[in-house]
Amino acid sequence: MSSKERPTLGGTRIKTRKRNITAPLDPAAFADAVVQIYLDNAGDLELIAKSIESSDLNFNRYGDTFFEVVFTGGRTQPGTTKPDEGERHPYSIIDCEPKREVILPSVVYIQKILRRRPFLIKSLENVMRRFLQSLELFEENERKKLAIFTALAFSQKLSGLPPETVFQPLLKDNLVAKGIVLSFVTDFFKEYLVDNSLDDLISILKRGKMEDNLLDIFPSAKRSAEGFSEHFTKEGLIPLVEYNEKKIFEVKLKEMKSVLTTQIAEEADISEVIDSVKQHVKDAKLPDIEVVRILWDVLMDAVQWSGKNQQQNANAALRQVKTWAELLNTFCTNGKLQLELLYKVQMQCYEDAKLMKLFPEVVRSLYDQDVLAEDTILYWFRKGTNPKGRQTFVKSLEAFVKWLEEAEEEE
């Protein structure tokens, strides 16, 4: 035997390794099959849903293609919204009228498909994200149809569709700058609020991480509170305007309270604190009554209360009133504001058991520091409208009021 020859075992068969052979992707054939179902059933979505249910089409593989056919009537070229080769049907969302009663059946139809094939929700997300990121490629009336569909999808609670899928892709600089996002979102808001409350809309925006970024949908030239109010007032969305104004107001109140808290804690010069509050009031256009409420809350929050030791608590509260009396005086400029301050004192003493007996002492101190006028105290005593603890506080203030009345008679 030659040294180059190798022995073999007679009768054995050499086995070749099996390889995983995958069928080539054929989205075109899938799309054509779905289009044919639409054409065979003349666009009747109920019949189409039944035909799709009984078909052996590979939705696991071609879910994205399926929704392209639903939205545009056929396949779209990769990376665009332009039609790809192949047959198309005229019953798509893009081809219908931009009216809710026309588009709603498509939402119901998709809901039926998703109930049978819940895994397709990811494909719906993919296609919606791609279309919303490419809104500039659609015509204006086509964008409106997409906005109406999106609003109805959330209104009908389309299975599992997350709001962030819809809103986050919109915030592309080029789309925002062209005003396309503002137009889309406006159409969405108007349509969604037909069947849902403002609270429902805010909930959707929160989940979509948009609630605090509503100004980001405006082109930079219009990105202001005034621009927001002007635009949505013109569009008839007054509740949304009021909500945004309230939110801005709350933010500004919080900012002022935070600055004031720091200044009080650091025992800043009282003139500096007064100037700071005045500036916040001017910049944020804060109502005087809210300023008075915040001043009292911040001053009392800064007090180091001493458990159940009434005398120590009384001394701490009175010391705080005396220290910051000029601050209170600056902003309690009339009887109405003084009465509001008195109601704040009443509520705090009512809600905090350890302060219940301090009410007359605090009122007396505010009077001595010229923060509360005699007329204000007497009005509260005789006609006060807040019932919280009123009987107890009126009784505890009787001696002081009697003294005020006698002094008034003497004068």
Q: Is the pLDDT of residue 310 over 50?
A: yes
Q: Name which residue leads in pLDDT, 21 or 138.
A: 138
Rounded to 5 degrees, φ, ψ at 410 are -60, -40
**pLDDT value, residue 20:** 41
Could you read off the pLDDT of 213-253 as tens digits, one per residue? 899 999 999 999 999 999 999 999 999 999 999 988 888 88
Read off the pLDDT of each residue in 64-74 and give the average, rounded to a whole number.
93
Read off the pLDDT of each residue in 133-161 and give the average, rounded to a whole number.
91
Q: Which residues pair with 76 in a beta bridge?
A: 83
Rounded to 5 degrees, φ, ψ at 83 are -65, 140
Q: Is the pLDDT of residue 21 over 70?
A: no
- pLDDT tier for residue 209 given thresholds of 50, 70 and 90: confident
Taking a C-beta distance cutoff of 8 angstroms, is the pair 192, 155 a contact? yes
Least confident of 68-82, 145-159, 264-278: 68-82
Read off the pTM.
0.75
Read off the pLDDT of each residue in 389-397 and give the average, rounded to a whole number.
92
Q: Say what angle helices 398-410 and 359-368 make with each other, to 10 degrees.
A: 30
Q: Which residues pair with 83 in a beta bridge?
A: 76
**pLDDT value, residue 410:** 61
**pLDDT value, residue 411:** 59
Q: Encoding tokens for residue 229?
A: 């109010």
H/E element, 314: helix 310-323
